[in-house]
Amino acid sequence: MKHTQPNILLIMADQLAVSSLPFHGHPLVKAPHLSRLAQNGVVFDSAYCNFPICAPSRFSMLSGRLPHSIAAYDNASEFPASMPTMAHYLRHAGYRTILCGKMHFIGPDQLHGYEERLTTDIYPADFAWTPDWLKGPGYRPTGVSMRPVLEAGPCVRSMQIDYDDEVEYKGAQCLYDLARAPQDKPFFLTVSYTHPHPPFVAPQKYWDLYRREDIDAPRVPPIPYEELDEHSQWLYVAHAQDIYSVSDEQVLNARHAYYGMVSYVDEKIGKILEVLKETRLDDNTVVVFCGDHGEMLGERGMWFKQCFFEDSVRVPLIVSMPKRYAPTRVGAHVSLVDLLPTFMEWAQGEQVAEPVGPLHGQSLIPLITGTEAGTNRSVISEYSSEGVSAASRMLREGPWKYIFTHGLPPMLFNLDTDPDELLNLAGQPEYSITQAHLHARLVDDWDPATVHARILASQKERLFLAAVASGSSKTPNWAYQPFVDETQRFIRGSGTAGPTSVKARARFPYVDPVQPDKTSG
């Protein structure tokens, strides 16, 4: 290696619940590759997304900024090309930046600082999924319902299997190509899978890893509708639970499929890690694994995400580079906006340049190295996408979780004494000082009424644009179309280099050509 900066391999899974992972205590789920990564890495036990739904969570992570500050309100909010991302910062620091897999960019810019993109995306890049709060939580632009739960089971093939098989292949091939290339620049490679996002279907091989009689029921049984907080009542309607009934057997069936999906994506991740080691790129590569948000998986009778309960808003987060960092577990509250300043510190060392715009996270390196306890760290998460009717925000600080939704009563939980979040302490006199402190912190840079009004105005504009687009045959298609220049991979013409030299360069490890030991007569 000619460079001293570490390569960075960011691996992502979609909708992966922390509670379903063996290294976070699940006794049944099989995820050997992630478990090995955790065993040899730094595991963050209290990591959170900054928005419990796909696109805004990823936009926030990439930009290092909280969602409201970049108008990332929902799964149809445009991520503007003018927003600096971790890929831009790493390119500026001399990195080669490559994206393989899902990122759910909305808008015409489908790179956002990545120099190369190896696959298309899996969901729309336009405004088709814009929520409409004026229609209430029953308006479902994505068509979400309880059908994925009711239809759960094994399968031979699915759209998401097609996608993740391609992500695995392209990601592995990219590592082979990087290993064969002159190592004059470090790389930042993001490999992002769509599993275990619903529908709850798993290939038979992974379904058969689990026996039906062993599948565990949710810890917290369904809560009657009339006893739910209003945010959860919105989601009850938004997920069509008022239309579809779900039996206990169907709950177990969906959880069975989900565990199979976790094992499936774990094997995909294992392949990438295997190639990293096989090519010896692991010697100077820091591996970061995370999810974009969680999955309720039937807890409290709730499914999917879109709320601030732990199974929805917590994410797995591992940092692994055994030659540099000793394995440990970190209990400090952290979030995905902390990744960008961490990556900047890896790229720039102690001379970290001033960012060109505000960042809302802190480097994780003091926690990784044990030079900071992290007891004063807090986390912000927001939600304003489909399924609700108002802007909401969460603050996690110490043992406390405080949730405020515009127009609704607040919620306050002590997760040390109430890990299942069943006892709302908001409004109780003995917690008034704590609640006042947390509320002041939560609204310090976030005025609920103002944010709410901005979101409604944004929805109105984007719904208009979506309606115009749907009635036109000449609407620009922002979906990313990957291009592969096969002339660079195979012998496709009569260039100056002969076919033997092309084949020699493709061999890894490289072997110097054998020279003739005899002269012709």
E strand segments, 118-243? 153-155, 187-192, 201-203
Rounded CA separation 380/337 (Å): 10
Cα–Cα nearest to 103, from 62, 49, 50: 62
**Helical axes 248-278 vs 32-39, angle rounded to 10°:** 60
Q: For residue 191, give every residue at least 6 positions away whose Cβ sits within 8 Å of its Cβ, in sequence order, or none.
A: 9, 10, 11, 12, 100, 101, 167, 171, 272
Residue 520 has pLDDT above 70, yes or no: no
Could you tell me the pLDDT band of residue 1, with boundaries at 50, 70 and 90? very low
Q: Can you list the pairs that 409-415 forms with residues at least 24 positions away whose Cβ atoms lie under 8 Å?
A: 409/229, 409/230, 410/435, 410/439, 411/229, 412/438, 415/310
The mean per-residue pLDDT over the stretch 259-283 comes to 97
Task: Write out pLDDT tens, residues 413-447.
Answer: 999 999 999 999 999 999 999 999 999 999 999 99
Please say whether the beta carbons of 201 and 158 come within 8 A: yes
Q: Supply the pLDDT for residue 82.
A: 97
- Contact present, 311 and 295 (Cβ < 8 Å): yes
Distances (CA, A) of 108 to 81, 91, 186, 479: 8, 20, 28, 8
Token pair, residue 188, equals 């930042």
Check pLDDT > 80 for residue 277: yes
Q: How confident is the model at residue 374 (pLDDT cuts 50, 70, 90)?
A: confident
| Model confidence band, residue 182 (pLDDT cutoffs 50, 70, 90) | confident
Can you tell me the mean pLDDT for 352-367?
Answer: 92
What average pLDDT does range 380-393 have in this prediction? 97
Q: How confident is the model at residue 495 (pLDDT cuts 50, 70, 90)?
A: low
Per-residue pLDDT, averaged over 116-138, amounts to 95
Q: State yes or no: pLDDT of 494 exceeds 60.
A: no
Residue 487: the pLDDT is: 76
Say if CB 458 and CB 73 are below 8 A apart. Answer: yes
Q: Is pLDDT at 478 greater than 60 in this prediction?
A: yes
pLDDT 10s digits, 286-318 = 999 999 999 999 999 999 999 999 999 999 999
Instruction: Work out the percent of the chain whose per-residue pLDDT is above 90.
Output: 87
- Measure the CA–CA gap between 362 and 377, rounded to whole angstroms: 9
Helix segments in 279-338, DSSP class H: 310-313
**Residues with Cβ < 8 Å from 22, sequence gap 6 or more?**
29, 30, 31, 35
DSSP state letter for 318: E
Where are the chain's structural domains? 7-470
Q: Binning pLDDT at 50, 70 and 90, where does residue 498 land?
A: low
Q: Do residues 191 and 101 make contact, with C-beta atoms less than 8 angstroms apart?
A: yes
Domain 7-470 CATH superfamily: Alkaline Phosphatase, subunit A (3.40.720.10)
* 483: confidence class by pLDDT, cuts 50, 70, 90: confident
Active-site positions? 54, 104
Whether 346 and 286 have beta carbons less than 8 Å apart is answered as yes
Name the amino acid, one letter, at 88: H
Q: Is the dihedral of CA 478, 480, 485, 488 positive or negative?
A: positive
Both tokens of 249, joined, read 């057997």
- Token pair in block for residue 176: 């082979």
Its pTM stands at 0.95
For residue 219 the two structure tokens come to 């810890």
DSSP SS3 for 191: strand
Q: Which of 97, 41, 511, 32 lies closest to 282 in space, CA to CA? A: 41
Give the Cα separation of 161 and 136 in Å (integer): 33
For residues 11 and 288, what is the distance between their CA atoms, to the nearest angstrom? 6
What is residue 491's predicted lDDT score, i.e. its pLDDT? 73
Q: Which amino acid is at 241?
A: Q
- Tokens matching residue 367: 């926690």
Q: So what's the pLDDT on residue 380?
A: 98
